[in-house]
Structure 1
């Protein structure tokens, strides 16, 4: 494409395509308002079509802990004991204590090691050297912590001290084995076990594990007569060789638990055993300093009402090692600025401690109190930013918002006339009016029908052409009618009838196997990946094999009746294109792994009786769309948020699980509650997000928030999706794309099928719709994309085509100045700046005076090169 005229525009265009390379930093789009991104990009800026405009992140060296800060206690304002009250049941339980201090500047510190503890009645309990309460007798007392003239107290109750207690296999032995990794995936919890010894992953089935330990292998793993000779003690202590190495010592609490259970005759797990109902972690949140060390303590609450300190038996993991690292004992070291959720896991229950290091900058509260607030989204975002000392960027300009809103909501660019009208409109509510107008556009329907078709795998690779169109048209009609998301999902789940008459029924032609159906239902409508539970308990979530196969059994009664049109046959048999979906009155799914059918059961609900007649999908649909389902509304809210904000509140958006928390849980909860309160109205959710000041914030980062990619301080720049980019090229050049089998003028975002041949769409990351995964759509930059933009047919042929928008402008007698302004309004939704217009007009005037062999119209060639440079610029190819 590049001609000699192109060189005249290199100093002033937004982005000049060169082979390979790295994109210019985000600051290229971050200069003064009104100044073009074009002028700010260096002449040799390389082309990176799918790159981001983010400066290199500052890395944190985690090889060594940062120095622990030494804080003067002179600024200490108060201390508190955690937990605030202590209740100990039985003689074997203790309770670790923390002393959390708050300082004048608002930061907190773990001051436990520097504090002095006393108990008002030493006959009830004492505090040992590990700062743990050791019970001595039933009774009540007061714990006092003292430091630097500050005192804090907590009431203490000890009960059932003299009551004989029995070690529990469920609540004592299995937690030890889980913490030591004995039943983990790499060890005996693997699908095939290790060396003939197989435990259920993380102890999800205590009855099976008890039988394995006490009866299998001639019961040699546990010795009732001489407990000390049991293999489950000899091997983990390396008394005899053990492939897993030493797991604990003979003097450890772990040894004491298992040996005590053996000595008591190995009592079996009972249905009457108390079960863990929840776990709590302290501190639940804290603002610390770099290098600070913070101990976490974990308390389990049981079904019989008692609580226990289970810190030693819990597993810990940091959600951001650059901010906080944590060891296996819950000891945290703070390493960098930001916020990290530290995950705590005990007996399939998960909770978090949110630990943060606010950025070291002084910000007046007025920065946040005077920031624009349009709805509750902004309240939650600004509250979080204030805690982290991250200021928000100023609002986006009208031109930025206009282009952004069109692209994010409808996948199209505003026309020059639409841009002019909006920019000239002085009414204060013009942005809200624009949002309302966008939601009524047919392109809005096209955009969201395409998005849900990605989610629901609409493709002729799975369906016949008629079935594919039936499925797509049903989705598009649902979007056009603003069908509530709960009804939309329920209609798919319970779909019956002829697939050409009921488009939703085509879902059941794509997912015919109960296991595939179960996995896809969880992924598409709850954002949960349960496929790991096909072979074993999920390693990162609470789902077990029983959950997995119980849910699959909900779909075992779905049947397909297929009719062959008379006289039509293929080489392999009848041509089936008339299918009816119905539910059999009975039927069960049995997998060869478990050898028995499990009662039909949604993931987090009570099981149905296997004898329940009728369509079990009705039960699943009712549970799925219930407001009490913690995943259904969160899933769609998170997906819609990502569309507009560039990043989900939970990432990846198709990996919702307890161990993957939201970056702003308060905001996500508020959005979900509001979405449910408005009857699962997706259009309402779209409007709410777009009306927020958070969405309308500039993409130009401040120096204080340039590294923020997840807290919402500024709009995240993102490359246009493949279909949107292709449609934009067609829109600006007025040269429509031609897709095989579809009429000329069909936009990429109107295609019902991703199996349509298009080199451009494939190169730029269009999903193949084989899996319900956001990762199927790729934004990874490739050399193929660069070469295609530079030398490929798609853009270049549109620019050269006779009758293009350039030819129209030339025929109408537009001056160079007018053409430059038209191109800027078409591509960037803004007029060219004076400096841009002057430089480009001068370049065009110079080009028009030159004669080049083989070119009849030097002006047209120069305008083509100018258009190419603008349409390959960062300002055009990215939404900002």
Structure 2
């Protein structure tokens, strides 16, 4: 563990915030054309026929609470666009609140007032009420101070949240552990960081405003809201965490998605919900990052600027919660669909995205290209000359569909279903690589036992939910029961949790081993709750095969547990974001885990499998990387991913039917020659993505 930690931190947190992640996430979330990175001229907004303001009423509690107004205009076509900075604001009576040109409402005194929003000849009225302004503000360390430090970058991986901290000052990563942050701020180094006698002289304030030297530079100004929050907290006597404090359990972002023009601005509004049912505007306290800055950029205040055409997302993070707002900037107002007739639901869902983006596909590939592509993708081998000649000579308009059925063994005619051996061998190889069935880990005997078992499953077209359940619950001799070798590939509960989540759910849990996942809702509690399912698995040597040697038996222990590394409390086995399992009623804890993973109600499993298959067949996944399925790494086509997952579940987790749906689509049959405008696009599927030929096809 200690040997892994510096490497993990170095990889995940090379620089504060998202910097080390941006290039990968950006390419995964947005696919602009080659010219999209060029600066865009300011958008000419259509004339609004009405305006709407979010929120419709404002209530501020205390002098530190802020609310962000978002003014949206709508025209005769119901297209919405942001007018927040193009509007003016009048407050009656004056002195209760102030409204900045950016629409931020700040309390000035107790009372009630109205804010009149003016945009040309249009107007809207927002009632506002301020309470508790003159009372001593109850500044929360968890909900006020920690967000300020996180947003300022103090809790970044290259700053005070690095493995050993900076300058003797160590904080938790992005404030995920407020309880551990209080001590170093208030009491460490003889309380040198806060001054209760002269709060304004506190070192934490003087360094952040560069009144004294600070290696991290200036983090905020003396007249900023962040400064006022920290100052009020110190003036109040640096109150610690209270056990009854509400905890953030959700974020709501407005707008969640919108269609824009290049050069258009959009102010975001973010509201946090808490465990006590309350809500609060946290727009000014969030961290914002673009997942595609060739299309959309975002400021620290949550102002989005569309700089190119395509689709992107902006990630908003606050106190362990992360949400997205989706940005779509069409390339054109219309599309050319000449010669494109949707063949199935795959085409219909891709077509919806093309129309929204205003992009047109290339022409269909020729028959020679299709048969070569189909053989390589379905069987991992090139077609024989006689197969090619027969296919090219056929005039049957359904010959491509019939070819796919033959390759997948779905004709029902044994004479035509002649590629069972090639199909099972190819997909055994693909899934064997994924699961890591190699002789270095398993030895020759274990590797062949696992490989031969998988080949049988693919030849018999066993449903994938059953396939996965048998692997997860396997026990017995690694030579006699191939799936038991899964427990030699990863051997500790932690490694098994990571491998199982990544392979079968497409979820990367590695970050949560040491700290709260920076881009997901998963905490260390979630990580060790998943690891707890594997605590009763062990192995023992076996001499059953005598001279062959190397055999071992996977078996269950009577008990086993895993402890949270911070609290040292035993963590019960718990599905991700689910409820703990009553382990007293279950001996093999892997069984409820396997049932949960493959349950139709758990969409992670189906979405993971269909995304992998789409990536294998189409060159890039709907989510990239294909094993990084999370809320902050959105699919390029969410509707298609949902439709494929639904189809997969309804088919009985039939891998061949899923493959058929993709390979018989018109999208799959596009030419690989892109248009000049969209040559750089790999995830709009306007053309077939060229893939490197696998080594197996050359043998």
Q: What interval of TM-score do these two structures reach, taking the shorter chain for normalisation?
A: 0.7 to 0.9
Instruction: Give distance in 1, aligned partners of 2:157 and 2:262.
Output: 34
* Structure 1 gap segments, 5+ residues each: 1-55, 569-574, 728-880
Q: What pairs up with 1:628-643 in 2 under 5 angstroms?
A: 628-643=601-616
Aligned to 2:17: none
The residue number in structure 2 matching 1:395 is 364
Residues 141 and 262 of structure 1: is their aligned pair in 2 closer, same or farther, counting only changes over 3 Å?
closer
**More deviation in 294-303 or 687-696?**
294-303
Give matches, 1:748-827, under 5 Å.
none
Aligned residue among 293, 312, 316 for 1:321: 293
**Among 437, 441, 447, the residue aligned to 2:406:** 437
Q: Residues 638-676 of structure 1, C-alpha deviation per residue, up to 9 Å, x if partnerless?
A: 110001111111111122233222111222222223323
2:222 corresponds in structure 1 to 250
Report the equivalent of 1:232.
204
Give me the whole-angstrom Cα distance separating, in 2, the residues matched to 1:466 and 1:147. 75
Distance 1:523 1:567, change over 3 A: closer
Whole-angstrom distance in 2 between the partners of 1:263 and 1:476:
69
TM-score, with structure 2 as normaliser: 0.85
Match for 1:308 among 243, 256, 280? Answer: 280
- Contact kept? 2:330, 2:358, Cα under 8 Å: yes
Over 3 Å counting, the alpha-carbon distance change for 1:674 and 1:81 in structure 2 is same
**Distance across 2 between alignment mates of 1:328 and 1:450:** 47
Is the 1:138–1:157 Cα contact (8 Å) retained in structure 2? Answer: no
Matches within 5 A, 1:11-410: 58=34, 66-69=40-43, 71=44, 75-83=46-54, 85-91=56-62, 92-101=64-73, 109-118=81-90, 127-134=99-106, 144-151=116-123, 153=124, 156=127, 158=129, 166-359=138-331, 361=332, 363=334, 367-368=336-337, 371-410=340-379
* Structure 2 SS opposite 1:672: helix
Equivalent in the alignment of 1:834: none
For residues 254 and 133 of structure 2, the distance between their equivalents in structure 1, rounded to whole angstroms, comes to 29
Q: Which residue of 1 aligns with 2:14?
A: none
Q: Runs in 1 of length 4+ with deviation above 6 angstroms?
A: 103-108, 119-124, 136-142, 591-594, 609-613
Residue 598 of structure 2 is aligned to residue 619 of structure 1: no
CA contact (8 A) 2:115 2:128 kept: no
Other structure's SS at 1:512 match: coil
Segments of structure 2 that go 5 or more residues without pairing to the other structure are 1-31, 410-418
Q: Is the 8 A contact 2:208 2:219 kept in 1?
A: yes
| Structure 2 equivalent of residue 500 of structure 1 | 479
Question: How far has the Cα of 1:250 moved from its partner?
Answer: 2.4
Q: Give the distance between the partners of 2:609 and 2:298, measured in 1 at CA.
A: 32
* CA–CA distance in structure 2, aligned partners of residues 58 and 567 of structure 1: 63
Distance in 1 (alpha carbons) for counterparts of 2:435 and 2:545: 31
In structure 2, the residue corresponding to 1:189 is in which secondary structure? coil
Structure (1 or 2) with the larger CA radius of gyration: 1
The question of whether the paired residues in 2 share the 8 Å contact of 1:553 and 1:597 is answered with: no
Show the counterpart of 1:826.
none
Residue 461 of structure 1 deviates from its aligned partner by 1.0
How far apart in 2 are the matches of 1:314 and 1:424? Answer: 63
Does the residue aligned with 1:462 lie in a helix, a strand or coil?
helix
The answer to whether the aligner puts 1:472 opposite 2:448 as a matched pair is no
Which one of 502, 513, 532 corresponds to residue 553 of structure 1? 532
* Residue of structure 2 in register with 1:778 after alignment: none
CA displacement, residues 682-732 of structure 1 (integer Å, 9 cap, x when unaligned): 2222122122221122323345544432112121122211112x14xxxxx
CA contact (8 A) 1:89 1:307 kept: no
Secondary structure (helix, strand or coil) at the match of 1:461 reads: helix
Kept after mapping to 1: 8 A contact 2:111/2:131: no
Rounded to whole Å, the distance in 2 between the matches of 1:284 and 1:489 is: 35
- Cα deviation 1:423-444 (Å, max 9, x = unaligned): 4444443333322221113112
Is the CA contact 1:368–1:382 (under 8 Å) kept in the aligned structure 2? no
Distance 1:595 1:283, change over 3 A: closer
CA distance in 2, matches of 1:224, 1:162: 23
Asked if 1:414 is matched to 2:386, the reply is no
TM-score (norm 1): 0.68
1:509-524 → structure 2 map (5 Å cutoff) = 509-524=488-503
Is the Cα contact below 8 Å between 2:246 and 2:274 reproduced in 1? yes
- Aligned residue pair count: 656
Inter-partner Cα distance in structure 2 for 1:567 and 1:651: 47
Check 1:154–1:480 CA distance in 2 against 1; reply closer, same or farther (3 A cut).
Answer: farther
1:87-127 CA-to-partner distances (Å, cap 9, x unmatched) read: 43523433222333456899765332222335688798663
